[in-house]
Structure 1
Amino acid sequence: MPRIDSQNQKTFTYSRSTLERAERALVCSPFNPCLFETMRSRRVALSEITASTGVQNGYTKHSLSELVADNALVWLIQVGVLRREVDGQGITDSFRLTPVGRQIVEQFQTKSWRTSTWSDNLYNAVLRWFRLPF
């Protein structure tokens, strides 16, 4: 099996609108930056994010039910920030960052996470409600 030289890997280039939509979805989500920073290095199970465990881990701003957390995570999958983890038996309940998600989280390593504005929340809600691909 060939080895991958991570220093010679090409980075993907994304359109500005893709990066803006992904960043907006991240800052409007009910999750703290700590969750996405953890996802840079390992997969995170849904059970680690929900209820009081999510608050204790610093992953959520407040306690979330499994349904609310899963819906928010699925939206981040649709935007292209996250992906579901797969094992030998199929899809699991764990999540990990995609390359676009990794790129955005790495950008926030040098600057602080911005807070969402009312226009960010409104625009994100409209896109999420209609599931528009832009």
Structure 2
Amino acid sequence: MRMGHEPPATVNASAQTLLTARSRERARQALRCLPFALEFYSILERGALSSTELAARPDWSDLCRSQLNRSRTEDQLIWLIQLGVLRREVDGQGLTERVRLTPMGRELLLAWPAGIPPASPAQRLHHWLRRRRPRL
């Protein structure tokens, strides 16, 4: 081993830790930018919910900062799945359209017991760019 170089296992562990930190920060930012309120995630912690069920709920205004149709809701749920905040529920037939909160999602939400703080305009722009142009 040459002087000044870390062994491969240490480099891989460092890279994995950095990747995990970046993933968590990206998910944390998304939670602040997306229209879902803390109550929405609390419901998902207790049980699964589909985009159709969410769009049809009479209490949607308690769950979202703005009303979403089924298609727009599904887009937001897919983004949260990609970030690792949500996962699809599985039944005997395979994956369903219903989603649940992941352990990482639960962990991130612990930081905001009184509610998810809204993102600043700069954070919203950064999130929008990160979501639509991930390679920039």
TM-score scaled to structure 2, two decimals? 0.76
Answer whether contact 1:51 1:64 (CA < 8 A) is retained.
no
3-state DSSP class of the match of 1:63?
coil
1:14-25 mapped onto 2 (5 Å cutoff)? 15-25=20-30
Relative to structure 1, the CA distance from residue 127 to residue 87 in structure 2 (aligned partners, 3 Å threshold; closer, same or farther) is same
3-state DSSP class of the match of 1:113?
coil
3-state DSSP class of the match of 1:70?
helix
Relative to structure 1, the CA distance from residue 93 to residue 122 in structure 2 (aligned partners, 3 Å threshold; closer, same or farther) is same
Moved runs in structure 1, 4+ residues, more than 3 A? 51-54
Amino acid at match of 1:106: L
TM-score scaled to structure 1, two decimals? 0.77
3-state DSSP class of the match of 2:88?
strand
Give the number of the structure whose alpha-carbon radius of gyration is greater. Answer: 2
1:85 aligns with 2:89: yes
Number of residue pairs matched? 119
1:126 aligns with 2:129: yes
Q: Which structure has greater helix proportion?
A: 2
Partner of 2:36: 31
Answer whether contact 2:37 2:115 (CA < 8 A) is retained.
no
Aligned with 2:79 (options 75, 81, 90): 75
Partner of 1:65: 69
Partner of 1:6: none
Relative to structure 1, the CA distance from residue 131 to residue 73 in structure 2 (aligned partners, 3 Å threshold; closer, same or farther) is farther
Structure 2: gaps spanning 5 or more residues: 1-16
Q: Distance in 2 between matches of 1:131 and 1:77?
A: 16
Q: RMSD across aligned C-alpha pairs, in angstroms?
A: 2.3
Identity between Structure 1 and Structure 2 (%): 31
1:87-106 mapped onto 2 (5 Å cutoff)? 87-106=91-110
Partner of 2:14: none
Q: Distance in 2 between matches of 1:116 and 1:69?
A: 19
